[in-house]
Structure formats: C-alpha cells, structure tokens
C-alpha cells in the first residue's frame, strides 16, 4: 500500500509502524516474523497505514523523531527535527568547547532537540531556550525532563529574547525561514506553519535575530537559513557588525552561518 502511494521508504516505514503498534524493535520483528497479530493490533496498524497514506509524517504517527543519536517526543505542535540541523548543533558545540562558553540562548526551541543535543555534549553549559508557542514549550519541557536536563536548560515563553535580561555569549536558532510563496510538499504542510514560514521573503525573522544580537553585542551567532539567502543575510550581518562563515548541508546547499561580532 505504501509503495503504491509513492512512499519511498515503504518497507522501512511499514516496519517502524508495526514495531510501534507492538512496542517492539525492528530487530524483534525480523526474528519473530511468524508471530500472529491480534485483531486489535491489525486494526491499529492499518489505521496508521491509512494516516500515512494521507501524507501525515511518520514521526507524528509514532510520536518520535531521531536526531543526533537521540530519540525525541514530537507532535503536531513542533517541527520535526531534520538531519541538516545536526550541522548547526555541531557548530554550536564546537564554539562552546573552543571558547569555553557557559551561557547561551536558543531562539525557537520547538521540541528542544537542538538544545538537548548541545547540553548533552556540554555539561557545564546553561541554555535559555525561548518560544512563542505554548504547545512547543510543553513538548520541549517533556523532552528536557525525559533527559534530566532541567538544571541545564531553562524555558521561556517569549518572542525572540524579549523581556530576558541575562547576558549571552552565543545565540543560536533554526528559525522559520521559508518564503510564504514557496511550494512545500504535502507532508511538510502538516507541520506548524509558524515554525516554517519566515515571511514574504522568508528571511525576515533571521534579520530580526541578527539586529537583536547586534544591539546586545552578542559575541557569537549561529543560525540555519534557506538555501537562497546567503547573499542577503551576509549583507545584513556585515552591516550589523558581524563577520560570518557560511556552511552547506550534505546536498551542498547553503544552509547556515556562524558569525562573530566585530564592533
């Protein structure tokens, strides 16, 4: 069924959904392939298959997403963490460890996958993580508690860094950066639009973050961005006093930057 509807990883996804129904691993499925299913399990499995055929992302069906060697709880209220965001995480970890940073901030915490991955690698680090979505903050709190990182990550309900008085050595973000006019795949449209679309051009929120960090003279800024935003954002960064190095994702698309304040 999945194959007939163009699901590329149809066999893998069928195994993931069946394992989810049975609360078993894929290894268990392969070693117990002759185990009969109860009628209840069959009904739930085919219900999940039907939902997947409607393009609902499998991560929302299983309430789980893999990122940076970890498994995170996700639901419709947060963006599904992407493999390319692992590059941003590695860049931030490198900055923290090289410059011995102790106080940083994430704008747009979502599921907290990025902050948790960074905190796990940097045990002496404290992160203030913000979001405007109460649903996202609820999911982030669930994940932070699950990883026992309440002492390292503090959640704040606010836009950008509004009403936060702490000083930060670094700010990082994977903000909404897609243009409102950009056509997305049907499965992506199930994700929260406030976490996807950055405005008419797409880079508006990124530009707000750059301006905010420049006003606060924050030493380091690391962000993910759209593949076509390098030229515009480099100009904004330079005008704001930042010198940036841009990086590419595995598909060789421009995907983000790490910037240092020079004024």
pLDDT in tens, 76-114: 999 999 999 999 999 999 999 999 999 999 999 999 999
Residue identified by tokens 């069946």 is 18
| Residue of 214, 224, 230, 226 whose CA lies nearest to 262 | 214
Q: Name which CATH class applies to 85-261.
A: alpha beta
Whole-angstrom distance, CA of residue 177 vs CA of residue 168:
23
* Whether the Cβ atoms of residue 84 and residue 250 lie closer than 8 Å to each other: yes
What digits encode the pLDDT tens for the residues 166-214?
A: 999 999 999 999 999 999 999 999 999 999 999 999 999 999 999 999 9
Percent of the chain having pLDDT more than 90?
92
Res. 123 pLDDT band, cuts 50 70 90: very high
Q: How far apart are the first and last CA of the chain?
A: 59
| Residue 139, pLDDT above cutoff 80 | yes
Res. 117 pLDDT band, cuts 50 70 90: very high
| Residue 32, pLDDT above cutoff 90 | no
The domain spans of the chain are 3-54, 85-261
- Backbone region of residue 245 per phi and psi (left: phi > 0; alpha: psi in -120 to 50; beta: other values): beta
| Residue 44, pLDDT above cutoff 90 | yes
| Residue 62, pLDDT above cutoff 80 | yes
């Amino acid at each position: 069924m999945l194959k007939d509807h163009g699901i590329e990883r149809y066999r893998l996804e069928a195994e993931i959904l069946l394992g989810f129904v049975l609360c078993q691993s894929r290894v268990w499925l392969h070693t117990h392939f002759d185990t009969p299913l109860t009628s209840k399990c069959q009904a739930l499995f085919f219900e999940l298959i039907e939902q997947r055929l409607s393009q609902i992302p499998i991560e929302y069906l299983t309430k789980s997403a893999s990122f940076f060697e970890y498994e995170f709880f996700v639901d419709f209220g947060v963006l599904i963490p992407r493999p390319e965001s692992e590059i941003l995480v590695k860049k931030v970890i490198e900055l923290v460890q090289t410059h011995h940073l102790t106080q940083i901030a994430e704008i747009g915490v979502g599921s907290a996958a990025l902050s948790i991955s960074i905190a796990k690698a940097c045990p002496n680090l404290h992160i203030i993580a913000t979001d405007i979505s109460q649903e996202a903050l609820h999911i982030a709190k669930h994940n932070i508690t699950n990883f026992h990182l309440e002492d390292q990550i503090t959640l704040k309900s606010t836009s950008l860094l509004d009403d936060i008085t702490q000083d930060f050595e670094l700010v990082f973000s994977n903000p909404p950066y897609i243009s409102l006019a950009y056509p997305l795949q049907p499965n992506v449209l199930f994700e929260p639009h406030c976490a996807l679309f950055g405005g008419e051009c797409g880079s508006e929120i990124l530009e707000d973050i750059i301006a905010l960090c420049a006003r606060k003279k924050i030493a380091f800024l690391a962000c993910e961005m759209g593949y076509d935003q390098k030229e515009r954002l480099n100009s904004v960064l330079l005008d704001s006093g930042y010198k940036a190095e841009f990086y590419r994702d595995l598909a060789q698309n421009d995907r983000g930057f790490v910037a240092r304040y020079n004024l």
